[in-house]
Structure 1
Amino acid sequence: MDLALLDDTLAAAGEPAFRARQVWRWAANGAAGYDAMTDVPAGLRDRLRSEVPFSTLELVREAHASDGTVKALFHTHDGRAVEAVLMRYRDGRRSICVSSQSGCPLTCTFCATGTMKFGRNLTAAEILDQVLHFRRIEPVDHLVFMGMGEPMMNFGNVIAAARRLPDVGITHRRTGISTVGWVPGIRRLTETDLPIRLALSLHAPEDTLRSQIMPVNERYPLAEVLAACEAHYERRRRQVFIEYVMLAGVNDGYAQAVQLAQLLDPRIYKVNLIPYNPTDSVYDGSSRNAIDAFKAALEEHGLRATVRLTRGRDIDAACGQLAAKTAAA
């Protein structure tokens, strides 16, 4: 829902200011459309239906995984493809992974989104409408900006959407932004008033290998990225999560684990090892034994690590797999 358009339409209709809050409250609580808003006058509902689309996105299709994960493919008003994912966990958590761009201008070599043609930044309304789509299915309580695109390159719209999330049921402390290391965005997040979690996609313990995997490293090398993350920690006093995708024979050796542990201050960082999810890249995923050995090596050297639970792999909804394959060319 385009909330600026909603405000303008209500103002033009001479409606009191509380009407916008009333409509937004219904939407944030999962209303299926204007017809559900029973305390909004019927004539006004008709006007809103004709002048303010209930969503800025058109749902093209949904895919449902065997583990309960749901992936939604949307089109924007100008035909841009966007994917978002709802992940259901046994402990009751309902987490959403949302996109901040259609496609991605950065070309991380393991990520399917990087193979798409970059479209554009999404508006705050288009980001929020991904969330509202899933909220209409069931209550949600966690969110990460980790879908298509680099959220720090669309910082203003990402933060504008994030400010609305508590109304939907997702607190700022249960919201995370994942970045490849876009330093200006990390610095801007540090200066905001929102206690949003920061996650850094690292994937290598030294610059040469990281530049091969993630060309953005040539623009913002490790020392600069980690300095920005450490400044964030100094101000926020919240640990930074390190995402490290496990690539067989590339970044999963014992020596690399030791190098990573020596690079990262355990007071500041916690590592999340990510099993590689198949895309059309040149990589193979590390074996479970290799992942376990890498984790053990990190912990031997004092660095906490977890292994991410993969969700939605069978519908190409897992980490690194979003590529809008069903979108029109």
Structure 2
Amino acid sequence: MNTMERNDIRGLTETELINVCQKIGLPKFRGRQLFQWIQQKAVQNWDEIKNIGKSDLEKIRERLFLEPLDKLKEYVSKDGTRKFLFRLADGQSIECVLMDYDRKNSRNRRTVCVSTQVGCPVGCAFCATGLGGWQRNLSAGEIVGQILDITHAMRREDPEFQVTNIVFMGMGEPLLNYDEVLKSIGLLNQEAGQNIGMRRMTISTSGVAPKIRQLAEDNPQVGLAVSLHSADNSKRNDLIPINRHYPLDELMKACQEYTEKTSRRITFEVALIAGQATMEDAEQLSELLQGQLAHVNLIPVNPVAETGMARPDIGEMKKFAQILERRGIPVSLREEKGTDINAACGQLRRQWESEEK
């Protein structure tokens, strides 16, 4: 059979694998076995599968392919954050980040920030990913593959390693790859797989209002983060060009509908930029979020040479936060991870592409 006609096994549900097995004359339990080996045990090749005979595996291989991502680079920060650059089967590259939070009186929180597209079509002014444009969407198998390949690598150091949280905040706009993102969430949530709770997964969007409404209908258990960055339409147009399609009035209506249907709080992300994070902006943001079930996450902008943007000093950031707090808006300053290894989206990919050229 031609390779192009075969399906990526890492993007198939347990039910889909059972159907494949039945079509080639194998019992249902082979599909369940396969799903566990691929999704839970994160195997990298067919030889790691021990309880399926060679003849059955050969039939499976004719219908499915198993190809881990090609790790091009890995950097480890002084704070333990790890950043990975992976090459896909078509030669494109993506990034993802593992953040290990050591919390007192609880198990370690191991969060992976995954990519959902090669590049990004939104083109936010402060983001390195958008500088390279957009190439294509990732498949569910390529999205899940980031988690599985990191898990496989880390289990060499710690056999009990388990990803606990996932944020769809890497390269790309997740809601513009809606179907594949939701399928990957379903795969990662399966008890026989990684068994990551829906509430431990968060989708971050630049503000695709129609898909926010659809998400409320389709998957209310997943967390939602909105990259707001400004409460002024003119400023937001400059920072996030998609605001011209879905301006603040429409976006906030969609967010209000989301919270009414799901009873879930939205995290609104605000990048703080030196010279632009004014106290007037903080007051305007407070006004915009009045009555919204919200939490504001203030993020010091990541320094990217091409953007010319820098972070405010800590005093300015704290003043900005205090204004929100006085107006009754829950707020936090993001704990920065991996700054010393350029862990922000797109930075490592651009560096590698520059070196290759």
TM range (shorter): over 0.9
State the Cα distance separating 1:49 from its structure 2 match. 5.7
1:183-208 Cα shifts (integer Å, max 9, x gaps)? 12111101114410111001111101
Tell me the matched-pair count. 328
Q: Distance in 2 between matches of 1:19 and 1:59?
A: 30
Aligned mate of 1:125, from 141, 144, 148: 141
Q: Report matched runs for 1:59-70 at 5 Å.
A: 59-70=71-82
- Flag the 1:22–1:159 CA change in 2: closer, same or farther, 3 A: same
Partner of 1:3: 12
State the Cα deviation string for residues 103-158 of structure 1 (Å, max 9, x = none): 00111010000101311011111111111112222201100111000001000000
Moved more, 291-300 or 53-62: 53-62
Contact 1:266 1:303 in 2 (8 A): no
Q: What is aligned with 2:294?
A: 269
CA 40–194 in structure 1, closer or farther in 2 if over 3 Å, else same: farther
Give me the whole-angstrom Cα distance separating, in 1, the residues matched to 2:51 and 2:113: 32
List alignment gaps of at least 5 residues for structure 2: 1-9, 155-160
Change (3 A) 1:159 1:219: same
**Structure 1 stretches lacking a partner, 5+ long:** none
The residue type paired with residue 16 of structure 1 is P
**Cα distance in 2 between the residues matched to 1:32 and 1:154:** 26
Structure 1 residue 58 displacement after superposition: 2.4
- Counterpart residue number, 1:217: 243
In the aligned structure 2, how far is the partner of 1:181 from the partner of 1:82? 22
Task: Quote the Cα distance in structure 2 between the aligned partners of 1:97 and 1:154.
Answer: 16
Range moving further from structure 2, 161-170 or 142-151: 161-170
2:158 corresponding residue in structure 1:
none
TM-score normalised by the chain length of structure 1: 0.93
Q: Would the aligned equivalents of 2:42 and 2:148 in 1 still touch at CA under 8 Å?
A: no
* Cα distance in 2 between the residues matched to 1:257 and 1:219: 24
Specify which of 135, 138, 144 is matched with residue 151 of structure 2.
135
For the structure 1 residues 194 and 26, does the alpha-carbon distance in structure 2 shift closer, same or farther, using more than 3 Å as the test?
farther
Aligned to 2:269: 243
Structure 1's 148 and 322: CA in aligned 2 closer, same or farther, altered over 3 A? Answer: farther
- Is the aligned partner of 1:153 residue 2:169? no
Pick aligned residue for 1:208 from 212, 234, 240? 234
Confirm or deny: 8 A CA contact 2:85 2:349 kept in the other structure: no
Partners of 1:2 and 1:56 within 8 A in 2: no
Query: In the alignment, is the contact (CA less than 8 A) between 1:144 and 1:177 conserved in 2?
Result: yes
Rate the CA distance shift 1:8–1:55 in 2: closer, same or farther, 3 A.
Answer: farther
Paired-residue identity, %: 36
Deviations for 1:13-36, whole angstroms, at most 9, x for unmatched residues? 321122122111122223433333
Matches within 5 A, 1:154-169: 154-166=177-189, 167-169=193-195
Partner of 1:42: 54
Preserved contact between residue 148 and residue 322 of structure 1 (Cα < 8 Å): no
User: Which residue identity does 1:171 align to in structure 2?
Assistant: G
